[in-house]
C-alpha cells in the first residue's frame, strides 16, 4: 500500500521574493517525493495566498506548482483539495484541467480501515459567525461572476491585498484551539480515528486514547506535513528528521 500525504497552508505568493523562492523549492521537492512514494495526497486548503479563477488567466508564479500537481496526476496519485478560506472563488479549473477532486466542505475518508475527518479549519471558532456569513457571500456564483468582470491587473492585486489583510489580522491573535479539540472529540465519539485540520499554522499531533487530533501546521515557517502508511500517522518537517 502506498502512503497517503497531507499538507496545508502554503500561501504561495504571500512573502517576499526570497521567501517565495525558498518555499517553492521546498514544496516542489516534497511533491517529487510524493510522486515516488504516495498513493494519494490531500491538500487541506490555502495552497495559494488567494485563488480567484479567471477563465483564461493564471497568476504569475503559480505555474511550477500546478505543473508538479499535474505530474502527480499523471503518475496515478489520487489528488484531493479541501478548500480553505483563501480558496473562496474556485470554478472548474482544479477538476476539469487538473483532475483534482475539490471539496468545498469537510470530508470523511477511510484509509486501511481508519476513518479520517478532514477540514481546513476555517469557521471552527465559535466566535467566527461573521466569517461564516461572509463565506456564503464570497462563494455566491453571482458575486464570483461580477468580480470576474474586473481586469486581472486589478482583480488579482485586490484579492492579494484582502488575503494579506485577513492573514495578518489572524497572526496577531493568541493561539487558541479549544474549539478544534471539541470538534475533534465529537468526531471521535462518532467513530473517527483521526481529525485533521489546517488553518491554525501551528503543527500539533495529540493522542486522545488511540485517536488523534492533528493540525498540519504550514509551509510559511514550519514546512510540516502528515503521512499515513496504513498503520501509523506521523507529522513531519520537510528536510528534517521530523517533529
DSSP codes, 196-227: EE-SS---EEEESSS-EEEE---TTTT-EEEE
Residue 171's pLDDT band (boundaries 50, 70, 90)? low
Q: Is residue 70 part of a domain?
A: yes
- In the chain, the number of structural domains is 1
pLDDT greater at residue 219 or residue 98: 219
Q: How far apart are CA 160 and CA 179, in angstroms?
A: 28
> Residue 158 maps to which CATH number?
3.60.21.10
Q: Is residue 231 part of a domain?
A: yes
Q: Is residue 56 part of a domain?
A: yes
191 close to 210: Cβ distance less than 8 angstroms: no
Whole-prediction pTM value?
Answer: 0.84
Residue 164's pLDDT band (boundaries 50, 70, 90)? low
Checking if the pLDDT of 93 tops 60, the result is yes
126-130, 163-167, 171-175, 209-213: lowest mean pLDDT where? 163-167
CA 52 vs CA 56, 74, 90, 91, 152: distances in Å: 11, 25, 6, 9, 9
Mean pLDDT across 125-153: 63
Q: Is residue 52 part of a domain?
A: yes
**pLDDT reported for residue 242:** 43
72 close to 34: Cβ distance less than 8 angstroms: yes
Q: Is residue 7 part of a domain?
A: yes
Spatial CA neighbour of 197 closest among 207, 211, 178, 184: 184
Q: How far apart are CA 109 and CA 192, in angstroms?
A: 9
Q: Is residue 35 part of a domain?
A: yes
**pLDDT reported for residue 149:** 59
Pairing outcome for strands 114-119 and 38-43: unpaired
208 close to 180: Cβ distance less than 8 angstroms: no
Residue 241's pLDDT band (boundaries 50, 70, 90)? very low
**pLDDT reported for residue 131:** 55
What is the length of the chain? 243
**pLDDT reported for residue 162:** 61
What is the span of the domain harbouring residue 66? Answer: 3-237
Alpha helices in 92-220 (DSSP H): 129-138, 141-148, 152-171, 178-189
pLDDT greater at residue 48 or residue 157: 48
pLDDT greater at residue 144 or residue 16: 16
Mean pLDDT across 102-121: 95
Q: Is residue 131 part of a domain?
A: yes
**pLDDT reported for residue 111:** 97
Residues 6 or more apart whose CB falls under 8 angstroms from that of 177 comprise 200, 202, 204, 215
62 close to 52: Cβ distance less than 8 angstroms: no
Q: Is residue 243 part of a domain?
A: no
Residue 52 DSSP code: B
Average pLDDT over the chain, rounded to an integer? 84
CB atoms within 10 A of CB 56: 5
**pLDDT reported for residue 90:** 74
Amino acid at each position: 500500500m502506498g502512503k497517503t500525504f497531507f499538507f496545508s497552508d502554503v500561501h504561495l505568493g504571500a512573502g517576499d521574493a526570497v521567501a517565495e523562492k525558498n518555499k517553492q523549492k521546498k514544496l516542489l521537492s516534497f511533491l517529487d517525493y510524493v510522486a515516488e512514494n504516495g498513493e494519494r495526497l490531500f491538500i487541506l486548503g490555502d495552497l495559494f495566498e488567494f485563488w480567484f479563477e479567471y477563465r483564461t488567466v493564471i497568476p504569475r508564479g503559480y505555474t511550477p506548482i500546478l505543473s508538479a500537481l499535474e505530474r502527480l496526476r499523471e503518475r496515478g496519485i489520487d489528488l484531493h483539495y479541501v478548500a480553505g478560506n483563501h480558496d473562496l472563488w474556485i470554478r472548474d479549473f482544479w477538476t476539469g484541467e487538473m483532475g483534482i477532486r475539490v471539496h468545498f466542505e469537510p470530508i470523511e475518508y477511510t484509509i486501511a480501515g481508519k476513518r479520517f475527518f478532514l477540514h481546513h479549519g476555517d469557521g471552527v471558532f465559535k466566535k467566527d459567525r461573521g466569517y461564516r456569513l461572509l463565506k456564503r457571500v464570497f462563494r455566491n456564483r453571482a458575486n464570483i461572476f461580477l468580480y470576474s468582470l474586473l481586469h486581472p491587473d486589478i482583480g488579482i492585486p485586490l484579492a492579494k491585498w484582502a488575503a494579506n489583510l485577513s492573514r495578518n489580522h489572524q497572526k496577531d491573535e493568541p493561539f487558541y484551539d479549544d474549539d478544534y479539540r471539541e470538534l475533534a472529540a465529537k468526531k471521535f465519539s462518532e467513530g473517527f480515528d483521526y481529525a485533521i485540520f489546517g488553518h491554525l499554522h501551528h503543527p500539533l499531533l495529540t493522542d486522545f486514547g488511540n485517536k488523534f487530533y492533528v493540525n498540519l501546521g504550514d509551509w510559511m515557517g514550519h514546512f510540516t506535513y502528515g503521512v499515513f502508511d496504513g498503520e501509523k500517522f506521523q507529522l513531519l518537517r520537510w528536510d528534517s528528521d521530523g517533529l
